[in-house]
Structure 1
Amino acid sequence: MSHAITRLPDEQLAPMIARYAAAVRERRRHSLIAAAVVAVCIVLAGWMGEVRPSVLIAHSGRLTDYFSAIVPTLRWDSLGADLAEWYWNLDGWLKLLLDTLLIAYLGTLLGGIGAFLLCFLASANLVRNPFIRLSARRFLEFCRTVPELVFALLFVVAFGLGAMPGVLALAIHTMGSLGKLFAEVVENIDMKPVEGATAAGASWPQTVRFAVVPQVASNFASYGLLRFEINVREASIMGFVGAGGIGQDLVEAIRKFYYSDVSAILLLIIATVMIIDLVTEQVRHRLLGLEGRR
């Protein structure tokens, strides 16, 4: 069966085409203005930051020279001996790497507990008192605004060198970051179970326990695992300020120009982070998949 194509009269079609063309020109003009603003901002940022492309190009070879220097010489006929010489301190580095993982784990655990306790107080749909809600939000903002290395330096001064300053620094920053993410998850829950629990006479803690937590548990676990991935990388550089972990040996090797040690430690860190990322990614996908099938 053939269908006839209806064509509007020219006197009706012409104004519509004109309006469409005007809308396209307006959108194009807005895009050009936005691009010009971004370009101006980039130029101003480069000028204020004293970014000099000529210097960057002139000295870019130093970076490649450094990476060439840290790559060890491996010969096929003596590969075993060369690898043994390259990883001469493998046992010690693995122990420090384990310390780094434990620092990240404890920092994530303590920070996650704090974020879990505070996120409900920072949620607008659960707390109507603006003083409590805003106080919780400002505290979480403070925790995530100050960099981990700054907290680590303060705790190193207070408690001395070791793993504890790194754990505390990661815990505080993790609490601020996860607290914001957790609060956003809570604010997007279905409020019908909350209203039902409140109508049944449940207290506020009971409402949170039985009406809110079951809805957000899988997302909380997913964000917690994601934060653990980030904290493993952050814990690797905590040793730069004496806060424990393998970063302390890494910065010492960099300062003393132990080139082969630098590459050996970097490869250990990269391999560990890759393995953790792959494992936690699979776990997070399973958690989100279970949430989607509910």
Structure 2
Amino acid sequence: MTAGAVLAVEGRWRAARTRQRWRLALAAAAFAAAVLGSAWIGEVSVTRLVRGVPLAWDYIYRTLPDIAWSTAGTDIAYWMWGFRDWVALLGDTLLMAYVGTVLGGGVALLLSFPAAATLAPGPVVQLVRRVLEFMRTVPTLVLALVFVYAFGLGAFAGVLAIAVHTAGALGKLFAEEHENVALGPVEGVRAAGGSWPAQMRYGVLPQSLPGVLSYGLLRFEINVREASVLGIVGAGGIGEELYLAVRQFEYQDISAILVLILLTVTAIDLLCGRLRARVLGARAA
């Protein structure tokens, strides 16, 4: 290669490197502008942050129970004075989450097949996806407010709110799992004369079932936390007691209820992990 050709290649490389640096600089500037704009609109203030952190810690410190080593049993019993009532309310919360997850998961599974772009015609896919988007766009608390107004106070409104939001969220995730399956088994069922539902049942579902189960178990864990706060709007469960404790500044009751919720969610996470490993076997790893 002549010296002129080498200089030409080097010149093109330098020009490309310069363009890349300009693109990176512009991207960094745009990112910084977006961060600064978001901070300005969000009223982010370092002064308020520094002033507020000690106050936040003071609130947390007030919720901590006074437990001495010499009187630990008595102190814990005093801290957990409402244990039986709180456990009963936690049971209501778990049932709300469970029933809402089962109902919403069933609807999501039915709607996920026509929402998969590789399995249904375009117009049907777009229609079902818009329905799922509406279901998961409305916050669970807003849905609970609507259902409390329609059906009255109690767990029924919470179950419906969780079911609707779960159907929208899981419907999208299930549809994406269906889109990733191999189409060979589907074509085999179709060639054997199977109807479209039969193709979904025998060609798609066996392949996407691990992902469907994983997302379903994860959603149940999420719904337990969702159900824990629905009591704020009168939808039943432990949330009503937590909201009452917060409003009445019963600091130690707040920490006791939160600890029970944390232990419940942890237990559910461990249980779901074991169940997933038992059902899916080696594929769970």
TM-score of the aligned structures, taking structure 2 as reference length: 0.92
The residue type equivalent to 2:136 in the other structure is R
Paired residues of 2:147 and 2:157 also in contact (CA < 8 A): yes
User: Counterpart in 1 of 2:187?
Assistant: 195
CA deviation vs aligned residue, 1:208-235 (integer Å, no higher than 9, x gap)? 1111111111211111001111111111
5 Å-filtered alignment, 1:49-64, equals 49-64=42-57
Q: Secondary structure at the match of 2:70?
A: helix
5 Å-filtered alignment, 1:189-228, equals 189-228=181-220
Q: Aligned pair in 2 of structure 1 residues 80, 292: CA closer, same or farther (>3 Å)?
A: closer
The residue type equivalent to 1:52 in the other structure is S
User: Counterpart in 2 of 1:126?
Assistant: 119
User: Counterpart in 1 of 2:81?
Assistant: 88
C-alpha separation in 2, matches of 1:52 and 1:290: 50
Q: Aligned pair in 2 of structure 1 residues 118, 15: CA closer, same or farther (>3 Å)?
A: same
5 Å-filtered alignment, 1:28-39, equals 28-39=21-32
C-alpha separation in 2, matches of 1:280 and 1:32: 46
User: Counterpart in 1 of 2:176?
Assistant: 184
Paired residues of 1:222 and 1:287 also in contact (CA < 8 A): no
Q: Are 2:91 and 1:98 aligned? A: yes
User: Counterpart in 2 of 1:44?
Assistant: 37
The residue type equivalent to 2:273 in the other structure is E
C-alpha separation in 1, matches of 2:50 and 2:211: 45
Deviates more, 1:138-147 or 1:118-127: 118-127
Alpha-carbon deviation of 1:281? 3.2
Q: Secondary structure at the match of 1:75?
A: coil
Q: Aligned pair in 2 of structure 1 residues 14, 267: CA closer, same or farther (>3 Å)?
A: farther
Paired residues of 1:219 and 1:288 also in contact (CA < 8 A): no
C-alpha separation in 1, matches of 2:249 and 2:284: 51
Paired residues of 2:228 and 2:239 also in contact (CA < 8 A): yes
Q: Which runs of 5+ in 2 are unaligned?
A: none
Q: 1:281 aligns with which of 273, 277, 280?
A: 273
User: Counterpart in 2 of 1:70?
Assistant: 63
TM-score of the aligned structures, taking structure 1 as reference length: 0.90
Q: Secondary structure at the match of 2:173?
A: helix
Paired residues of 2:277 and 2:284 also in contact (CA < 8 A): no
Alpha-carbon deviation of 1:31? 2.4
Deviates more, 1:55-64 or 1:139-148: 55-64
Paired residues of 2:104 and 2:167 also in contact (CA < 8 A): yes
CA deviation vs aligned residue, 1:87-126 (integer Å, no higher than 9, x gap)? 0010111111111111111111000000011111111222
Alpha-carbon deviation of 1:175? 0.2
C-alpha separation in 2, matches of 1:86 and 1:17: 74
C-alpha separation in 1, matches of 2:15 and 2:260: 59
Instruction: Indicate the RMSD between aligned Cα atoms, in angstroms.
Output: 2.1
5 Å-filtered alignment, 1:221-260, equals 221-260=213-252
CA deviation vs aligned residue, 1:140-185 (integer Å, no higher than 9, x gap)? 0000000000000111111111111111101000000000011111
The residue type equivalent to 2:187 in the other structure is E
Alpha-carbon deviation of 1:253? 0.3
Q: Secondary structure at the match of 1:248?
A: helix
C-alpha separation in 2, matches of 1:283 and 1:227: 14
Q: 2:264 aligns with which of 240, 250, 272?
A: 272
Q: Secondary structure at the match of 2:66?
A: coil
C-alpha separation in 2, matches of 1:236 and 1:16: 65
Q: Secondary structure at the match of 2:71?
A: helix
C-alpha separation in 2, matches of 1:113 and 1:205: 15
